[in-house]
Amino acid sequence: MSPSSSPIDDTAFILAAGFGKRLRPYTEEKPKPMIEVDGVPMIDQALDKLADVGIDKCVVNTHYLDNILKCHLSLRSKGPKTIISHEPEILDTGGGIANALDHFAAPFFVLSGDSVWEDAAHKNTLQHMKDVWNPNRMDILMLLQPVESMTLTKGVGDYDLDITGRATRSVDRTGAYMWTSIRINSPRIFDHAPDGPFSYLELLDEAQRQGRLFGVVHEGQWHHISTPADLEAVNGRKANAQKRA
């Protein structure tokens, strides 16, 4: 794949409107993106990593316990600057981004507020994605985690990759890679999107049909924080490593 021939927007998008039902009771009094991993809210970790690759602003959609999240973001002392896109009625993973498209003039990063990952040694994951992005070939570039590398949380085989990096969704979920929700996408994929709520999966499938869905394999660790057991396993990994040492 060729290096990027066009810039990535300096504004990103973080999905943060969901209810986090499977993570209860942790999410009964705070939204999922504010749950702490290694003592730092997950959304802060995502924002800090976006700042490291030159992202100046970030649109954050809100719905569940939105006032708590908005207050937290307003107290951040460092960038990126956050722009709230509140959803009185939740718009799902596709509709929420489409609702904020006016903020984007170029291909942009989309992350989930519960994205938790560790870069491989000597490699910045988001910068690597920027370097790989090629708008002449791609509408969506996903970060994919090898299922075999997921030992702390359960991996599901969402996608396979061919030798060119093109991605194919594994309908029976037996693929080699799990979708991390970290991606770069072109605004053009929303040109024919429906009004109101819809799933981003529809856009992934359309990009695949057009041969414009690509993936890069994450060489570090990515953690799927879905349940209390997931959270406790990830937060306990360092303490367990020290016990074994």
Extended strands (E) in 3-89: 11-15, 36-37, 40-41, 57-62, 81-86
Q: Which is more confidently placed, 243 or 23?
A: 23
Tell me: the pLDDT tens digits for 61-95? 999 999 999 999 999 888 899 999 999 999 999 99
Class of domain 11-244: alpha beta
How far is 180 from 28, CA to CA, in rounded Å?
24
How far is 40 from 149, CA to CA, in rounded Å?
24
- Domains of the chain by residue range: 11-244
How far is 46 from 77, CA to CA, in rounded Å?
15
Q: Are 167 and 159 in contact (CB under 8 A)?
A: yes
Q: How far is CA 39 from the centre of its chain?
A: 20
pLDDT category at 237 given cuts 50, 70, 90 is confident
Extended strands (E) in the chain: 11-15, 36-37, 40-41, 57-62, 81-86, 108-112, 116-118, 140-146, 159-161, 167-169, 177-185, 213-217, 221-223
Tell me 21's DSSP state.
G
How far is 171 from 160, CA to CA, in rounded Å?
10
Tell me: the pLDDT tens digits for 124-150? 999 999 999 999 999 999 999 999 988
Enumerate residues 6+ apart whose C-beta is below 8 A from 94. Answer: 193, 197, 198, 199, 200, 201, 202, 203
How far is 113 from 59, CA to CA, in rounded Å?
11
